[in-house]
Amino acid sequence: MYQLNTNYDKLPGSYLFAAIAKKIAAYQKEHPAADVIRLGIGDVTRPLAPAVVAAMHRAVDEMADAATFRGYGPEQGYDFLRDAIIRGEYTSRGVEIDRDEIFVSDGSKCDVANIQELFSPECSFAIGDPVYPVYLDSNVMAGRTGELLADGRFARVTYLPATEENRFSPALPAEPVDLIYLCSPNNPTGTALTRQELAVWIEYARKTGAVILYDSAYSAYIAEPDCPGSIYELPGAKEVAIEFKSFSKTAGFTGVRCAFTVVPKALAGGKLNAMWNRRQCTKFNGVNYVVQRAAEAVYGEAGRQEIRRTIGYYMENARIIREGLSSAGFTVYGGVNAPYLWWSLTKNVKSFDFFDRLLNVCQVVGTPGSGFGPHGEGFFRLTAFGNREQTSEAVERIKRNAGQLLG
Amino acid sequence: MYQLNTNYDKLPGSYLFAAIAKKIAAYQKEHPAADVIRLGIGDVTRPLAPAVVAAMHRAVDEMADAATFRGYGPEQGYDFLRDAIIRGEYTSRGVEIDRDEIFVSDGSKCDVANIQELFSPECSFAIGDPVYPVYLDSNVMAGRTGELLADGRFARVTYLPATEENRFSPALPAEPVDLIYLCSPNNPTGTALTRQELAVWIEYARKTGAVILYDSAYSAYIAEPDCPGSIYELPGAKEVAIEFKSFSKTAGFTGVRCAFTVVPKALAGGKLNAMWNRRQCTKFNGVNYVVQRAAEAVYGEAGRQEIRRTIGYYMENARIIREGLSSAGFTVYGGVNAPYLWWSLTKNVKSFDFFDRLLNVCQVVGTPGSGFGPHGEGFFRLTAFGNREQTSEAVERIKRNAGQLLG
């Protein structure tokens, strides 16, 4: 008789965003006339860039003709896209990356969840607190943690608190760890590590023999020059870091599905690069051809300009939220180098209760901070990915009801 | 200091098809003028169906307009596609499947590789020999096997020999196993299990408490009425079987990437359905919207007809290969319910040597049988997915050089 993977039993019932989607659906069923504004899940709303759309139509036409039809592509991605990524993301930042260090995939979520397979089940790991839940959940499933404790933490996990006190830039762990998940610009706090802060992590990893798993899915939103757009801008990073980047937020590809992971050959003497290649060749079958042409167009001249405009649109939303909430007496972080606003709630309200309150009072959806980790309690994430009118309307509702929300 | 997953060290250097691609590239570099015909990797060559192409263009246009743009879709797939799958694959076969039992993904390769995560690392498993290498390799990576032995087998794996003697329909395992991978129609032997043969497996699984992982990616090619197109056509299957189906070979989606997996709620009291849902929500982010509209179009009236014609085209190729090789004095199996031909080589030639011989003598590429398992030695797989002219030309070359090939 087969046995199941009992590590799944350690996880709370459902994935954070799935649980929230259910709550919203229930509210809308009860209040069918309510004009609910969703600033919860980090999902884009602007259409694809015209250059991307044109590239997709062209590629679909290629798939309609036997002479230009494409079947299986390389598991690692087509050379045309890997080369465009090198030029657009790395050469432009003065970083040298080889083609065979780039692995195109259908999403950073998959890659950051799968990367732990390359390491021993015995490896210890550190995650930010709060942070995107996939790092933790994928390791729970793989058996690298103990049970969920009463304080909301899992045993055998090193949490790195990101708090108002440390300006959401976690300190080095007290105990040694093997794998370090860093997310910058950070989801959910909306803050980005500076060059100086990142250098401390690289030095630490080099000294202690740790690997940094660097999730940089939001790097296109960085505005301040002292926050690097790639960890490889820093010397010594290639020997200790794997970098994840995505087209989801860069180019509105959340429904298109394309991302890439860089596994430098300088890491573990090339071993991790070879292992990830083997993993992708065995358990993955490459990304849709049309999608890869779409991603290539992101780096074309027209694509780059169009995408800049869309990012500007979202960051103007971020400014509206930040300034609106501040003017209403709230404390809010982020929104400068990231499309996320991290709203500090009054001390006596739980973030999941605030979710209900905000939905009921303002018909605005956000994400409870505690969903991202115990140190997210007392915070609430809003995203700048809505459309302008709804974002402004949401801010007005919040301002109008500030007293009731603060209560 | 981090430790790597040492199970990867047990695997041979490279994934079968990646290794073969390298061999071909080397040959072509040495013989730039050679007209190499590829009947090796199971990749389609016909363009997408017009109904599919039209659906993709429409969906791309939706993505270009804020009013119809789609961001993240459901991790399990859009309802429109899940419902089309139910109608097109199950209701049509008299099988009742619920929407929440269907999980749309970017490929059966991913799903059959990932499904083992739901089971304890202690589970034993059985695979056909020969068979598609992903079942084995994904379990090697997960640590469910011992080392690779001198005879080409891994320790702690139950191999189910598919031989000329048993008409490529493996017997039940001698020892009890927890997980049973069945592939029908079979890759690489090209044979499909009959209703009666499949019933034996279901009864065995029910009696011994095993789970059948039923890879039915080639079911659209079944021509003989006594071979079921879904395992759920058989009574009692829902309590013991997970079924994998793909649009790759059904509709030429190898470069488009869409598949689905059925995890019945009747299995393990609903536990496996809930676990797969949790897995997909945590480690996967849904399939491209354009692709899901494309897959939906496969089940429309026009799509269905167009796809039938393409399948007919490939199966005519299969007939040409089968009859051509037979007339030249070779023994060849398959090609009736599957687009694969399983060529029985003369006893004294190794299939990897025959790969080189066929490439050198005929400039035809196939796949060495031993790449699919020890019992694949002495066989060679050809696919019917080429274009008509090249397929006919390949058969002519083989017939012309039969003496030299037999030698």
CATH number of the domain that A366 lies in? 3.90.1150.10
Residues B143 and B249 in one domain: yes
Residues B63 and B183 in one domain: yes
Show the CA angle centred on residue B320, arms to residues B317 and B323, nearest 5°: 145
Picking from B66, B255, B288, the nearest residue to A72 by CB comes out as B255
Considering only CB atoms, which chain B residues are within 8 Å of A254? 71-72, 285
Domain boundary among A243, A275, A302: A302
Residues B268 and B175 in one domain: yes
Q: Please write the tens of the pLDDT for every residue from A310-335.
A: 999 999 999 999 999 999 999 999 99
Contact: A5, B138; criterion CB under 8 Å: no
Q: Are B108 and B132 in contact (CB under 8 A)?
A: no
Q: Please write the tens of the pLDDT for every residue from B148-174.
A: 999 989 999 999 999 999 999 999 999
Q: Which residue has the higher pLDDT, B124 or A19?
A: B124
Size of interface A-B (CB pairs under 8 A): 242
Best residue of A44, A138, A283, A310 to probe chain B, by most B CBs closer than 10 Å: A283
Q: How far apart are CA B257 and CA A242, in angstroms?
A: 26
Q: How far apart are CA A375 and CA A159, in angstroms?
A: 9
Task: Identify the closest residue of chain B to A3 by CA–CA distance.
Answer: B120
Q: Which residue type is seen at B338?
A: A
Non-local (6+) Cβ contacts of A303 within 8 A are A49, A51, A52, A55, A251, A297
Q: Are A384 and A321 in contact (CB under 8 A)?
A: yes
Best residue of B60, B81, B136 to probe chain A, by most A CBs closer than 10 Å: B60
- pLDDT in the model for residue B21: 85
Q: Over 90: is that where the pLDDT of A262 sits? A: yes
> pLDDT class for B81, splitting at 50, 70, 90?
very high
- Whose CA is closest to A156, among A183, A186, A127? A127
Alpha carbon separation from A113 to A108, A376, B168, B240 (Å, rounded): 8, 21, 38, 28
Asked if residue B121 is part of any domain, the answer here is: yes
Non-local (6+) Cβ contacts of B327 within 8 A are B399
Contact: B46, A64; criterion CB under 8 Å: no
Residues A101 and A155 in one domain: yes
Residues A316 and A226 in one domain: no
Q: Which residue has the higher pLDDT, A328 or B14?
A: A328
pTM confidence score? 0.96
Picking from A3, A50, A57, the nearest residue to B119 by CB comes out as A3
Please identify which residue in the block is written with the tokens 């009890």. Answer: B176
Task: Identify the closest residue of chain B to A253 by CA–CA distance.
Answer: B71
Contact: A285, B113; criterion CB under 8 Å: no
Structural domain range at position A393: 13-48+304-406
Residues A165 and A175 in one domain: yes
Q: Are A308 and B41 in contact (CB under 8 A)?
A: no
- Whose CA is closest to B298, among B42, B103, B43, B56? B56
Considering only CB atoms, which chain B residues are within 8 Å of A73? 255
Token output for B110? 């991913």
Considering only CB atoms, which chain B residues are within 8 Å of A271? 4
Considering only CB atoms, which chain A residues are within 8 Å of B278? 8, 11, 14-15
Is the ipTM value over 0.90, yes or no?
Answer: yes
Percent pLDDT > 90 in chain A is 94
Asked if residue A3 is part of any domain, the answer here is: no
> pLDDT class for B14, splitting at 50, 70, 90?
low
Contact: B120, A210; criterion CB under 8 Å: no
> pLDDT class for B347, splitting at 50, 70, 90?
confident
Q: How far is B17 from chain A (nearest CA, A)?
A: 9
The two beta strands, A259-262 and A331-334, are unpaired
Average pLDDT, chain B: 96
What is the gyration radius of the CA atoms in chain A, in angstroms? 21
Residues A294 and A309 in one domain: no
Q: What phi, psi does B41 have (nearest 5°)? A: -65, 145
Q: 3-class DSSP state for residue B97?
A: coil
Token output for B136? 């084995």
Contact: B48, A57; criterion CB under 8 Å: no
Question: In A328-380, which residue ranges form alpha helices assigned H by DSSP?
Answer: 351-362
Q: Are B168 and B160 in contact (CB under 8 A)?
A: no
Task: Identify the closest residue of chain A to B208 by CA–CA distance.
Answer: A1
Picking from A143, A209, A256, the nearest residue to B2 by CB comes out as A209
Interval A37-59 mean pLDDT = 95
Question: Lowest-confidence range among B6-20, B230-244, B291-305?
Answer: B6-20
Considering only CB atoms, which chain B residues are within 8 Å of A18? 75, 281
Q: Over 80: is that where the pLDDT of A15 sits? A: no
Asked if residue B1 is part of any domain, the answer here is: no
Interval A273-290 mean pLDDT = 97
Token output for A374? 């115990």
Picking from A53, A120, A141, the nearest residue to B63 by CB comes out as A53
Q: Please write the tens of the pLDDT for every residue from B44-61.
A: 999 999 999 999 999 999
Task: Identify the closest residue of chain B to A55 by CA–CA distance.
Answer: B60
Q: Over 90: is that where the pLDDT of B42 sits? A: no
Contact: B283, A4; criterion CB under 8 Å: no
Contact: B50, A64; criterion CB under 8 Å: yes
Residues B350 and B207 in one domain: no
Contact: A208, B252; criterion CB under 8 Å: no
What is the gyration radius of the CA atoms in chain B, in angstroms? 21
Residues B206 and B257 in one domain: yes
The two beta strands, A259-262 and B340-344, are unpaired
The secondary structure of A167-215 as a DSSP string is TT-PPPPSS--SEEEEESS-TTT-----HHHHHHHHHHHHHHT-EEEEE
In a 13 Å sphere around the CA of B280, the CA atoms on its Cβ side amount to 29
Contact: A283, B138; criterion CB under 8 Å: yes
Token output for B81? 């596609």
Interval B392-406 mean pLDDT = 95
Token output for B47? 């363009």
Q: Please write the tens of the pLDDT for every residue from A156-191.
A: 999 999 999 999 999 999 999 999 999 999 999 999
Considering only CB atoms, which chain B residues are within 8 Å of A179? 2
Task: Identify the closest residue of chain A to B14 by CA–CA distance.
Answer: A278
Residues B162 and B276 in one domain: yes
Q: How far apart are CA A91 and CA A98, in angstroms?
A: 10
Alpha carbon separation from B193 to B228, B339, B346, B357 (Å, rounded): 8, 15, 26, 32
Asked if residue A220 is part of any domain, the answer here is: yes
- pLDDT in the model for residue B19: 79
Residues A65 and A208 in one domain: yes
Q: Which residue type is seen at A318?
A: A
> pLDDT class for B406, splitting at 50, 70, 90?
confident
Considering only CB atoms, which chain A residues are within 8 Å of B106? 106, 257, 285, 288
Task: Identify the closest residue of chain B to A46 by CA–CA distance.
Answer: B66
Q: Which residue type is seen at B173?
A: P
Interval B227-239 mean pLDDT = 98
Percent pLDDT > 90 in chain B is 94
Q: 3-class DSSP state for residue A86?
A: helix
Q: Over 70: is that where the pLDDT of B5 sits? A: yes
CB atoms within 10 A of CB B331: 13
Considering only CB atoms, which chain B residues are within 8 Å of A69? 45-48, 252, 255
Show the CA angle centred on residue B305, arms to residues B304 and B310, nearest 5°: 95
- Whose CA is closest to B372, among B121, B117, B41? B41
Contact: B2, A178; criterion CB under 8 Å: yes
- pLDDT in the model for residue A364: 97
Q: Are B388 and B317 in contact (CB under 8 A)?
A: yes
Residues B286 and B313 in one domain: no
Contact: A53, B64; criterion CB under 8 Å: yes
Contact: B284, A18; criterion CB under 8 Å: no
Picking from A11, A210, A284, the nearest residue to B110 by CB comes out as A284
Q: How far apart are CA A48 and CA B62, in angstroms?
A: 9
- Whose CA is closest to A295, among A284, A307, A279, A283? A307
Q: How far apart are CA B342 and CA B322, in angstroms?
A: 9
**CATH code for the domain in which residue B101 is found:** 3.40.640.10
Task: Identify the closest residue of chain B to A273 by CA–CA distance.
Answer: B4
Considering only CB atoms, which chain A residues are within 8 Å of B117? 5, 141
Token output for B379? 């066989």
Q: How far apart are CA B243 and CA B250, in angstroms?
A: 15
Q: How far apart are CA B228 and CA B102, in angstroms?
A: 19
- pLDDT in the model for residue B15: 66
Considering only CB atoms, which chain B residues are within 8 Å of A175? none
Picking from A3, A117, A268, the nearest residue to B141 by CB comes out as A117
Q: Are A265 and A273 in contact (CB under 8 A)?
A: yes
Q: Over 90: is that where the pLDDT of B12 sits? A: no
Q: Over 80: is that where the pLDDT of A407 sits? A: no
Q: Which residue type is seen at A58?
A: R
Q: Are A76 and A102 in contact (CB under 8 A)?
A: yes
Q: How far is A142 from chain B (nearest CA, A)?
A: 8
Q: Are B342 and B333 in contact (CB under 8 A)?
A: yes
Asked if residue A4 is part of any domain, the answer here is: no
Q: How far is B207 from chain A (nearest CA, A)?
A: 10
Token output for B135? 């079942």
Asked if residue A346 is part of any domain, the answer here is: yes
In a 13 Å sphere around the CA of B217, the CA atoms on its Cβ side amount to 30
Q: How far is B123 from chain A (nearest CA, A)?
A: 6
Asked if residue B350 is part of any domain, the answer here is: yes
Considering only CB atoms, which chain A residues are within 8 Å of B79? none
Q: Over 70: is that where the pLDDT of B267 sits? A: yes
Contact: A256, B63; criterion CB under 8 Å: yes
| Cα dihedral sign, A192-A198-A200-A201 | positive
Q: Please write the tens of the pLDDT for every residue from A101-112.
A: 999 999 999 999
- pLDDT in the model for residue A251: 98
Best residue of A104, A282, A289, A310 to probe chain B, by most B CBs closer than 10 Å: A282
| Cα dihedral sign, B326-B229-B112-A6 | negative
**Domains in chain A: how many in total?**
2
Contact: A117, B50; criterion CB under 8 Å: no
Q: Over 80: is that where the pLDDT of A14 sits? A: no
Q: What phi, psi does A213 have (nearest 5°)? A: -100, 105
Asked if residue A5 is part of any domain, the answer here is: no
Q: How far apart are CA A294 and CA A283, in angstroms?
A: 24
Question: In B247-401, which residue ranges form alpha helices assigned H by DSSP?
Answer: 247-250, 271-283, 289-298, 301-327, 351-362, 388-400
- pLDDT in the model for residue A29: 95
Q: 3-class DSSP state for residue B386?
A: coil
Q: Which residue has the higher pLDDT, A263 or A407?
A: A263
Q: How far is B205 from chain A (nearest CA, A)?
A: 9
Task: Identify the closest residue of chain A to B294 by CA–CA distance.
Answer: A60
Q: Over 90: is that where the pLDDT of A61 sits? A: yes
Domain boundary among A287, A302, A317: A302
Domain boundary among A246, A271, A302: A302
Q: How far is A331 from chain B (nearest CA, A)?
A: 30
Contact: A289, B255; criterion CB under 8 Å: yes
Non-local (6+) Cβ contacts of A212 within 8 A are A180, A182, A201, A202, A205, A231, A237, A240, A241, A242
